Amino acid sequence: MASRVDLANAIRALSMDAVQQANSGHPGAPMGMAEIAEVVWNQHLRHNPTNPDWANRDRFVLSNGHGSMLIYSLLHLTGYDLPIEEIKQFRQLHSQAPGHPEYGYTKGVETTTGPLGQGIANGVGFALAEKLLANQFNQPGHEIVDHSTYVFLGDGCMMEGVSHEACALAGTWGLGKLTAFWDDNGISIDGHIEGWYTDDTAKRFEAYGWHVIPNVDGHDVDAIEAAVQAAKKVTDKPTLICTKTIIGKGSPNKCGSHDCHGSALGLDEVKATREAIGWPHEPFVVPQEIYDGWNAKAKGAKLEAEWNAKFDAYAKAFPELAAEFKRRTSGQLPANWKSYTEDFIKQVNEKAEGIATRKASQNAITALAEILPEFLGGSADLTGSNLTGWSKAKHVHAKEPGNYISYGVREFGMFAIMNGVALHHGFIPFGGTFHMFSDYAKNALRMAALMKQRTIAVLTHDSIGQGEDGPTHQPIENTAGLRYIPRMDVWRPADSVETAISWVAAVERTDGPTSLVLSRQNVAGYKHNEADFASIRKGGYVLAEAEGGKADVIIIGTGSELDLAVKAQGELAKDGIKARIVSMPSTNVYDRQDQAYKDSVLTPGVKRVAVEAGVTDFWRKYVGLEGAVVGIDTFGESAPGGVLLKHFGFTVENVVKTVKSVL
Ligand SMILES: Cc1ncc(C[n+]2csc(CCOP(=O)(O)OP(=O)(O)O)c2C)c(N)n1
Ligand SMILES: [Mg+2]
């Protein structure tokens, strides 16, 4: 039988050899965390390599994602579908072992990590989702949702502010099934960390309300085991296990130094390491007995079979709940979704209220929440401004799970946690903040897009129209910036109908996040032709055709500025200029339509003017160099919104003047 030393050394060997072969990568962290990984994966992690999607599996997050060879070694050794050929192709094009762990590329990777600090925040999201789902579905004697989340994180994650935001909330929420292992190796890229990281990390986490186990020797499997046992005993607090490790342990000349953080050890040092750790095998060769020591397939199949039996008993006792659990965790929408939302949109259209789109958004949330128990709403301390709350929402507290979260003033933490919630399955998370502060959270929004996750950002106060708060609070480039994120759908609806439709589209999306960019101020309320509903879903459509059908010019408007375009149409008509009005709530969605449809909206050869209270460059793509944009390329000012819009040229007169200038 393989010894535990050999089991850990298999991680070391695979990691250093794969990095050496690629001549790129990070051997230090995997070699330093090998014993911790062995204890967690061999003794504790409840998973089934044959079915990485088993609903009640424990979740594992490698927040220090640069140590990707650690997770690839673990997946390979325990029997996931990650053959040694893929490990040999580490970091090469189309390998299932990419540079950093990428969700969707490698079976068993629960979340994409590498942007430091976000993995632990995702882990908080996983643990939160578990707790809330358990509360909604478990019944006495039927604990069908019962799993843990394990996170490895390094000094880099600790230094990143987002770890503070997320870990503070984990303490507040009392996420007892979250266990994090801090790889306390005293090294980051620039060297020994004394010059830039002197926090008392144990005290910091104690202050958050975590259960902290300090000073564990990260190379002593018994000490690690004892710490995990202690963590399991504390069920009302997350646990941080502070493990002292030596980066690159096993490498005689490079261990303990930043030299082994992010580059291959070199052939001589790889050889010396083989000798030092007693690993005589060729690169990528793992003896069968070591594979046998790691293989978790039989154990995993048994765990899943036991759970299946449990679930069957649950389904017998609570057939409706069981069906609902399956629906929720597979991401399906309720059976009445289509008819319900169609009716809702019709009702909104009938009212055609001239309200702020943030208010229209709240109306949509309220209506959709009636049939979406999977909604997990929230705001970064702006519930009353973002209008993300609804009357029946129930706040999440440590001892009182619900479906609405006050995240506090933590935009980045909120969206990173939401990514974990979405990846867990069972919920559709949405979170609000002022659009301006989407920048604080931008990388988490990007990660949602990269991982194709259904998260919804409710970004209100979307332009200088927000008014008195002034330039610090007035988005200028933000909407364009979000539109540039691949796979992010940005909607900037112009009225209550477009807002309702954008919410429906966001919820129906299965391959990425949506940002809803919403006004603080009231906007016009249009009564739409019902045939338009399908066109609105296309992201851009003809709201008002030019008289007689043949347009001299096309005016494109979005959001609160669409009405300027509509009014300009009438003014221009007085001078015999026929303008077509195009509403373009989502350029991203419009861009995906077929050419014939796009041409029917923006007819080639017809001059165009775009009107949006944001940067003008973005619109050049649609208006060309011969067109014009009524936009804003400077910071705003502090004044009432209406005054500012006028001051910066968002008037019917200016739109008319601009149109005439291009004809
Ligand atoms: C947000 C972010 N900033 C910077 C980096 C680049 N980077 C990768 S690893 C690393 C140092 C991490 O130090 P630590 O977590 O202690 O890892 P160790 O060297 O101990 O493996 C940095 C700065 C990153 N991946 N993510
Ligand atoms: Mg470190």
Query: From atom 12 of ligand 1, which residue's Cα is the shortest distance away?
Result: 156
Q: Please tell me the distance between residue 112's alpha carbon and the centre of ligand 1 in angstroms.
A: 15
d(CA 371, CA 274) in angstroms, rounded, equals 59
d(CA 184, CA 166) in angstroms, rounded, equals 19
Ranges of beta strands (E only) in 185-279 are: 187-188, 191-192, 211-217, 239-244
Q: How far, CA to CA in Å, does 13 sit from each of 69, 214, 341, 430?
A: 10, 29, 55, 43
Neighbours of 309 (CB within 10 A): 10
**With a 6 A CB cut-off, is 246 part of the ligand 1 pocket?**
no
Q: Please tell me the distance between residue 94's alpha carbon and the centre of ligand 2 in angstroms.
A: 29
Query: What per-residue confidence (pLDDT) applies to 34?
Result: 98
**With a 6 A CB cut-off, is 250 part of the ligand 1 pocket?**
no
Residue 89 corresponds to which tokens in the numbers above? 């192709």
Q: Which residues are CB-contacts of 449 (< 8 A; sequence separation ≥ 6)?
A: 485, 486, 487, 488, 512, 513
Out of 35, 38, 269, 411, the active site residue is 411
d(CA 126, CA 122) in angstroms, rounded, equals 6
Helix (H, G, I), strand (E, B) or coil at 64: coil
State mean pLDDT over 567-580: 98
Each residue's pLDDT tens digit, 55-98: 999 999 999 999 999 999 999 999 999 999 999 999 999 999 99
Average pLDDT, the chain: 98
Query: What per-residue confidence (pLDDT) applies to 346?
Result: 98
Query: From atom 21 of ligand 1, which residue's Cα is the shortest distance away?
Result: 29
**With a 6 A CB cut-off, is 255 part of the ligand 1 pocket?**
no
Helix (H, G, I), strand (E, B) or coil at 412: helix
- When pLDDT is cut at 50, 70 and 90, the band that residue 1 belongs to is confident
Mutate-to-test residue for ligand 1 from 116, 192, 243, 446, highest number of ligand atoms within 8 A of CB? 116
Residue 378 corresponds to which tokens in the numbers above? 């929230």
d(CA 435, CA 461) in angstroms, rounded, equals 6
State mean pLDDT over 149-156: 98
The atom number, within ligand 1, closest to the CA of 185 reads: 20
The atom number, within ligand 1, closest to the CA of 100 reads: 25
**With a 6 A CB cut-off, is 64 part of the ligand 1 pocket?**
yes
d(CA 637, CA 476) in angstroms, rounded, equals 11
Query: From atom 19 of ligand 1, which residue's Cα is the shortest distance away?
Result: 188
Residue 525 corresponds to which tokens in the numbers above? 């309320």
**With a 6 A CB cut-off, is 436 part of the ligand 1 pocket?**
no
Q: Please tell me the distance between residue 593's alpha carbon and the centre of ligand 1 in angstroms.
A: 40
State mean pLDDT over 263-267: 98
Cα dihedral 307/311/314/319 (nearest 10):
170
Q: Please tell me the distance between residue 184's alpha carbon and the centre of ligand 2 in angstroms.
A: 6
Cα 451 to its chain centre, rounded Å, is 7
**With a 6 A CB cut-off, is 261 part of the ligand 1 pocket?**
yes
**With a 6 A CB cut-off, is 100 part of the ligand 1 pocket?**
no
The atom number, within ligand 1, closest to the CA of 261 reads: 19
**Model confidence pTM above 0.85:** yes
d(CA 564, CA 577) in angstroms, rounded, equals 16
State mean pLDDT over 452-461: 98
Ligand sitting nearest the alpha carbon of 114: 1
Q: Please tell me the distance between residue 65's alpha carbon and the centre of ligand 2 in angstroms.
A: 12
**With a 6 A CB cut-off, is 20 part of the ligand 1 pocket?**
no
- When pLDDT is cut at 50, 70 and 90, the band that residue 549 belongs to is confident
**With a 6 A CB cut-off, is 196 part of the ligand 1 pocket?**
no
Each residue's pLDDT tens digit, 396-430: 999 999 999 999 999 999 999 999 999 999 999 99
- When pLDDT is cut at 50, 70 and 90, the band that residue 230 belongs to is very high
Per cent of the chain over pLDDT 70 is 100
The atom number, within ligand 1, closest to the CA of 157 reads: 15
DSSP string, 326-351: HHHHHTPPPTTHHHHHHHHHHHHHHH
Cα 339 to its chain centre, rounded Å, is 29
Ranges of beta strands (E only) in 479-566 are: 489-491, 514-518, 541-544, 553-557
Each residue's pLDDT tens digit, 156-194: 999 999 999 999 999 999 999 999 999 999 999 999 999
Q: Please tell me the distance between residue 154's alpha carbon and the centre of ligand 1 in angstroms.
A: 8
pLDDT exceeds 90 at position 317: yes
**With a 6 A CB cut-off, is 28 part of the ligand 1 pocket?**
yes
Mutate-to-test residue for ligand 1 from 62, 120, 189, highest number of ligand atoms within 8 A of CB? 189
The answer to whether residue 411 is catalytic is: yes
The atom number, within ligand 1, closest to the CA of 443 reads: 1
Contact 374, 330 (CB under 8 A): no
The atom number, within ligand 1, closest to the CA of 153 reads: 15
**With a 6 A CB cut-off, is 115 part of the ligand 1 pocket?**
yes
**With a 6 A CB cut-off, is 247 part of the ligand 1 pocket?**
yes
Q: Please tell me the distance between residue 599's alpha carbon and the centre of ligand 2 in angstroms.
A: 54
Residue 73 corresponds to which tokens in the numbers above? 């070694």
